[in-house]
Chains A and B, each alone.
Chain A
């Protein structure tokens, strides 16, 4: 086949494919919206349950509390969801958060002029860690689980050696960032507003931009996406950089919220954020779920721990119920999906 003919054939194939994509868009749109329906339903059920059991649960002040404790987990979960869409995951997210929390704060203790640069530097540090993850996963072709399991240790090790066992106390942090995370605007905590804004922005990016659509595409069918002309490696790298940047921001907020920055801050957040994503209907197999779902997932986790304290259940019950809630949420979501799909067909 001469090259010109081949090119023509290819572009016409692309056109038909595009048409197909447009036609199926209506269907997938409904499905995508349905994806966050399950988690949302579960959240409502939980809320009804806790309201029935505790009179204080539905108070405005308590709902604010739930949102406040969910805010940073939400931002971190959005970051995690971003790579989950591409059929990857980031186990190093806790270490990335810790790095972005510790390093700028460490610089600040030596150089107070660094104050205004705290947020940008945290985002940049997170993005650099994300770049390393992305390069290893996308260009090194190492499975994400293995690669980020490795960087989980490496990044944390770097923080250990920078810190030399010292922690950064509340008094050593910049005052404005401490005030920022504790501030309220019209009764609503500022970090809740920030989290909602980021979730909205992320939703817009995933739903309406070609970047978002490409991420879904390489997650749902990597091979088809490559044939379609998407640069899979570059997109995965970009997703990891974005995840790192967002996680870095979340790390900085977390450090300011809890006050004391220890070297093991944000340990275990890899499982927390994955749990939030999965509860929220973001599939670990990529390509499905939405940012709203991830945010709802984080909200469910915060609601469960709040509700359990409300009920006066402590310690062991919390661990048990939170675990069972994850199983139930996933089962609820999967079975609802299956029901919706079969009832439509």
Chain B
């Protein structure tokens, strides 16, 4: 009897709690939504004026989008300043967007979102050679002009590649830096971001063939390649381990502007300054300290502003049919000069900048 009663009581309790949960459920859902929508709407509406200005007040200029490997790196920001300058001179609207970290799939998602905005020109530094091919082909089929800069994709998926340096010239410049550091030469190792980073890998191949063929560089002996993901810590630790494991190694050569200063820092911090050198590509702001303290004599780069300017300008010329890229055609960029289109529609900027103790403070990137 009392059991029966208890059960009823329990049932009643159950029901009442269910009722509560229904109202509470709605209450919670609304509350959660409001709370979560605040950040979303802030994020979206914060950017409201810009697209409207772009679409409504466009003065016949082109819509130009620049997608770097990742937006938060000073090198790409500098290139964007150059491209923006060109876009402003030509009366185009310019948007800089892309992934926050070098993630290939995120870059494709960024490109898809750019594509939905009906771009006229896309300027791209590809993280991965092949991942971006489908979306770029789609863009080109819809009439957009694709110009790659800094890092290329497959030739069929873009109209033009503005190469900062031909792979051979880049390789030669890195080796020149190494010889400036230590003319007697020695064993070398290489670092690349990953096996699929085209420019790093091609430059390494070119360095190896130069060491084999050019008597000037025969004092340098090629060694292994390490993959360090454009990651500062990994570059640093790998360099520390390399110096320990291979005491004969004199040089680390790389086209990664992240790895070179990190490796040089490892050299200095572990007391190998003057015995081992990291040579190759580095932002002047990153390598200034090593040039000042004498632990290295020379680093190199090119002017990312010039590269961005060249990419944006040539993209505009192609879209407005003032220039069509083909082997042997001449590309005239005011203020930069005249460039020849090479096989596979590549133009080489080929303006290496060498940083030494005396000139490094002139550069602002």
A and B touch in the complex (CB under 8 A): yes
In the complex, whether B74 has a CB less than 8 A from a CB of chain A is yes
**CB contacts between A and B, total, < 8 Å:** 119
Chain B residues within an 8 Å CB radius of A151: none
Q: Chain A contacts of B224 at CB under 8 A? A: 312, 314
Residues of A within 8 A of B227 (CB): 314-316, 318
| Contact of B242 with A169 in the complex, beta carbons under 8 Å | no
Interface string of A24-48 (1 = CB under 8 A from B): 0000000000000000000000000
A257 to chain B, nearest CB (A): 7
* CB atoms of A267 and B101 under 8 A apart: yes
Task: Write the chain B residue with the least CB distance to A68.
Answer: B240
A311 (CB) vs chain B CBs: closest residue: B245
Contact A170 B265 (CB under 8 A): yes
Contact with B along A132-167 (1 / 0, CB 8 A): 000000000000000000000000100010010111
B72 touches A160 (CB 8 A): yes
Which of B249-265 touch A at CB < 8 Å? 258, 261-262, 265
Q: What residues of chain A lie closer than 8 Å to B100, measured between beta carbons?
A: 156, 160, 264
Contact B241 A309 (CB under 8 A): yes
Q: With A169-B289, A171-B292, A267-B101 given, is the CB distance from A258 to B238 under 8 Å? A: no
Contact A258 B74, beta carbon cutoff 8 Å: no
Q: Is B218 an interface residue (CB 8 A)?
A: no
Contact partners of A310 in chain B: CB under 8 A: 241, 244-245
**Chain B: minimal CB distance from A89 (Å):** 21
Q: Is A61 an interface residue (CB 8 A)?
A: yes
Residues 274 to 328 of chain B near chain A (Cβ within 8 Å): 283, 285-286, 288-290, 292
Which DSSP category, helix, strand, loop or mixed, fits chain B's interface? Answer: helix
Distance between Cα atoms of A70 and B7 in the complex (Å): 63
User: Which residues on A sit within 8 Å (CB–CB) of B195?
Assistant: 315-316
Size of the chain B interface, CB-CB below 8 angstroms: 41
B131 within 8 A of A: no
Q: When each residue 288-322 of chain A gets 1 if its CB lies under 8 Å from chain B and 0 otherwise, what string results?
A: 00000000000000100110011010111010000
Q: Once bound together, how far apart are the Cα atoms of A312 and B235, in whole Å?
A: 16
- Cβ of B269 < 8 Å from any Cβ of A? yes
8 Å CB contact of A182 from B70, B71, B269, B290: B269
Given the known inter-chain contacts A171-B285, A262-B232, please indicate yes or no for A305 contacting B237, CB distance below 8 A.
Answer: yes
B265 / chain A contacts, CB cutoff of 8 Å: 170, 257-260
A245 close to chain B: CB less than 8 A: no
A75 CA to B358 CA in the complex, in Å?
A: 40
In the complex, the answer to whether B261 meets A262 with C-beta atoms within 8 Å is no
Least CB distance from B57 to A in Å reads: 27
**Segment 198-238 of B: residues with Cβ below 8 Å from A:** 224-227, 231-233, 235-238
Contact B240 A69 (CB under 8 A): yes
Name the residue among A65, A181, A312, A314 with the largest chain B CB count within 10 angstroms.
A314
Contact of A61 among B244, B283, B285, B290 (CB under 8 A): B244
User: Does A259 lie within 8 Å of B285, measured CB to CB?
Assistant: no
Partner of B245, one of A56, A156, A257, A259: A56
- Say whether B17 faces chain A, with CB atoms less than 8 Å apart: no
In the complex, what residue of chain B is closest to A63 when comparing beta carbons?
A: B244
Q: With A and B bound together, what is the CA distance between A263 and B70 in angstroms? A: 11
Residue in chain B with minimal CB distance to A255:
B232
Asked if B140 is at the interface of the complex by the 8 Å CB criterion, the answer is no
- Interface centre among B226, B231, B241, by most chain A C-beta atoms within 10 angstroms, is B241
Query: For the complex, what is the distance from the CA of A219 to the CA of B100, rounded to whole Å?
Result: 36
Partner of B286, one of A260, A265, A266: A260
Select from chain A the residue with minimum beta-carbon distance to B226.
Answer: A314
CB contact under 8 A between A65 and B244, given known A259-B261, A262-B73: yes
Q: Which residues of A contact B169 (CB under 8 A)?
A: none
A266 close to B270 (CB less than 8 A): no
Q: Which residues of B contact A257 (CB under 8 A)?
A: 236, 265, 269
Of all A-B residue pairs in the complex, the 6 with the closest CB atoms, nearest first, are A259-B265, A182-B269, A171-B289, A309-B241, A315-B227, A65-B244
Partner-A contacts on B (CB < 8 A): 70-74, 77, 100-101, 195, 224-227, 231-233, 235-238, 240-245, 258, 261-262, 265, 268-271, 283, 285-286, 288-290, 292
CB-defined A-B contacts under 8 Å, sample of 14 = A54-B245, A160-B72, A160-B100, A165-B73, A167-B286, A171-B292, A181-B269, A258-B233, A262-B73, A262-B258, A264-B101, A268-B231, A309-B244, A310-B244
